[in-house]
Amino acid sequence: MSAARITAERVRIDRGPRSGQTIIVSADSTRLGPALGGCRIKSYPSWREGLDDVLRLSAAMTEKAALAGLDHGGGKTVVALDDTSSADWTGPRRADLLDDIADVVETFDGTYITGPDIGTSPQDMARLHSRTRHVLCRPEAEGGSGDSSVPTALGVTASLEAVCAHRWPGTDLSTLSFSVIGLGHVGAVVGDWLAARGAALTVADIDPGRRDLAERWGARWVTPDQALRAEVDVVVPCAVGGILTPASVGGLHCHAVAGAANNQLDHDSTAALLHDRGVLWAPDVIVSGGGIIASVSRELHGLTAAEAQERVRGIGPRLTSVLADAERRGITPLQAARDLVDARLEGRVNGTPAA
C-alpha cells in the first residue's frame, strides 16, 4: 500500500562517525505505542531518496501495526549507501556501520524499535543489540524470535483462507486454483501449504533454481508475467512490490489477489481499478503482518511461539471484517483498511490485548 500520510513525529538524519554513511530514522507515529519498523540498508542515488523512502515506509508501518492490532506505531531506518561506491559492507566495515545504526536507534530511547528489513539479517540485529536493546528478531539462539518469514507465511495462509471463504463461501481450497509469484522464504512456505491442501498451483520465480519446488508440488511453472495473468482463482504475490498497475490490472484473469509482497499497488487509485474489474484485493499491509505480530508477541509480550502463532492466525478474522466492511459500504478494501487505521489511531477501536 503506498502511504497516504507523511506525518512523521520525529526524523533524524546522521552521518555515522565510524562508517561515514547516512543513517535516517523516522518514528512516524507513537500515538498507540513505540514505533516499530525494520532497518533497510540499500544504495540510493542520494540520501534525499533515502529520506523519501524512510518517510513512506515508516508511514506504511503505522498502518501495518495498527491493522495488526498492535499497540505500536510505525517507524523505519534507512541507511542510504552511496550507489556510486563499490564498497564491500561485510566484515569490520559492516560492524562499524551496525554500531553507528545502533547508536542512532538508542537516541530514540525506546520510542522506536528496529528489526531486520532488506539488506539486514537476524545476525545483524544481534550486533545492534550489543549497543541498544530496542531491537527485535535476533537469532533464537541469542534470545530473539529469529527470522520472521515463517510467521509471515502463516499470516498469508490465514489470509488466503479468509479471502476464499469471503469470495467462495463454503468452498474447499482443494477445488480452487492459485498462482504464487516468488518462491522465496515466504512464497515457498505458502506454496507447500497450498500443495498440501490439494489446490491447483501455477508458480513462478526469476530464479530458475526454484523450479524444483514446482516439480515437487506438481505445479505448472511459468514466467512471472504469465503467473500474474494466469487464469486462476487467486494470484498470490510473494516477490516484489508495485506489480498492480493500471496496465497489469487490465490483464488479470483471476478473481482475487492476496499475498505477502509489500506495496503491491503502484498507486492508491489502482485499488479502485481492481474493484471495478471485480477482483477482490486483500490489502498487503494486513496480509503481510504475521512477522511483526509474532516478533512483538514473543519478544515484548513474552508469549510462547505457539501462542504467537495463534495471534498471527488472527489476521484471518481481521481481514474478513475489513473485506465485509468494504462490501457492505461499497468501498475498496484499501479504503476500509484506511478507515480502520484511523479508528485505531483515534482510539475508537482497541488493539489485541497485550498478553
Rule CB under 6 A: say whether 238 interacts with ligand NAD.
Answer: yes
Rule CB under 6 A: say whether 158 interacts with ligand NAD.
Answer: no
Rule CB under 6 A: say whether 261 interacts with ligand NAD.
Answer: yes
Select 121 or 350, whichever has its Cβ closest to ligand NAD: 121
* Number of chain residues interacting with ligand NAD (CB under 6 A): 25
Rule CB under 6 A: say whether 183 interacts with ligand NAD.
Answer: yes
Residue with cell 494470484: 235
Select 20 or 242, whichever has its Cβ closest to ligand NAD: 242
- For 193, phi then psi, to 5°, come to -65, -45
- According to CB under 6 A, which one of 132, 145, 152, 335 is a site residue for ligand NAD? 152
- According to CB under 6 A, which one of 21, 62, 145, 148 is a site residue for ligand NAD? 148
- For 208, phi then psi, to 5°, come to -60, -20
Output the smallest distance, CB 224 to ligand NAD, in A: 3
Select 173 or 239, whichever has its Cβ closest to ligand NAD: 239
Alpha-carbon gap, residue 205 to 182, rounded angstroms: 5
Output the smallest distance, CB 290 to ligand NAD, in A: 7
For residue 336 the three cell numbers come to 476500509
What does the chain come to in residues?
Answer: 355
For residue 116, count other CB atoms closer than 10 A to its CB.
26
- According to CB under 6 A, which one of 60, 160, 186, 274 is a site residue for ligand NAD? 186
For residue 355 the three cell numbers come to 498478553
- Give catalytic residues, as residue numbers: 76
Rule CB under 6 A: say whether 75 interacts with ligand NAD.
Answer: no
Report which of 301, 298, 34 is spatially closest to residue 151, judged by C-alpha positions. 298
Give the C-alpha distances (Å, rounded to integers) separating 204 from 100, 131, 188, 244, 255: 39, 41, 11, 16, 19
Residues 36-55 that bind ligand NAD (CB under 6 A): none
Rule CB under 6 A: say whether 191 interacts with ligand NAD.
Answer: no
- For 163, phi then psi, to 5°, come to -65, -45
Residue with cell 485499488: 271
Rule CB under 6 A: say whether 182 interacts with ligand NAD.
Answer: yes
Rule CB under 6 A: say whether 288 interacts with ligand NAD.
Answer: yes
If 0-12 CB within 10 Å is exposed, 13-18 middle and 19+ buried, where does residue 248 land? middle
- Chain contacts with ligand NAD (rule: CB under 6 A): 148-149, 152, 181-187, 204-207, 210, 224, 238-241, 260-262, 288, 291
